[in-house]
Amino acid sequence: MKLKILSVAVLISVSVLGVQGMSGQKGSFKVAGKCGMCETRIENAALSVRGVESADWDKESGIVELEYNAKKADLEKIQKAISTAGHDTELYTSNDKVYEKLPECCKYDRVEAKSSGCCPASSSKAACGSSKAACGSSKAACGSSKESTGCEK
Ligand SMILES: [Cu+2]
């Protein structure tokens, strides 16, 4: 009898662990941002994704640390949501129009060349010059030589 109770208890705890196994998945990635307002925006965007349990963005490092249910959410989805809110992530670039609407204090330096609209992620960065500076400063030049540089605009 005692053994039976024990095995039932074991069974219950195993199934509870099984369900929670997908919860509390940890992950982090870099998000561009500048101030406390960015922090709120970034964290809210992350939390808006179903399955995200906690989000903590650090202003200094630019790293957002997350806990989420891996059955419902994944890092890609979360990055996408944050980029939609106006902040560039490692995988996704925010829409220029959304970025422009951010308050002045939140206008962070756009992430790498791929986010400048000069070098789309699809084309090779190399095609647009290997240095970030070259790409950023030649946005105007890119416009006139779309074909040769592989630039977006
Ligand atoms: Cu801000």
Could you tell me the residue ranges of all domains in the chain?
23-111, 116-153
CA 122 to centroid of ligand 1, rounded, Å: 28
For the chain, what is the mean pLDDT? 76
Instruction: Please report, rounded to a whole number, the percentage of residues in the chain having pLDDT higher than 70.
Output: 59
CA 43 to centroid of ligand 1, rounded, Å: 12
Instruction: State the fold for domain 23-111.
Output: Alpha-Beta Plaits (3.30.70)
pLDDT of 125 higher than 60: no
Nearest CA among 23, 81, 18, 83 for reference residue 53? 23
Q: What is the mean pLDDT of residues 32-58?
A: 98
CA 59 to centroid of ligand 1, rounded, Å: 9
pLDDT at 79: 98
The 10 Å CB-count burial string (b at 16+, else e) for 10-44 is: eeeeeeeeeeeeeeebebebebbbbeeebbebbbe
What predicted TM-score, i.e. pTM, was given to this entire model?
A: 0.64
Q: What is the DSSP letter of 116?
A: T
Decide: 103 and 39 in contact? Cβ < 8 Å. no
CA 126 to centroid of ligand 1, rounded, Å: 31
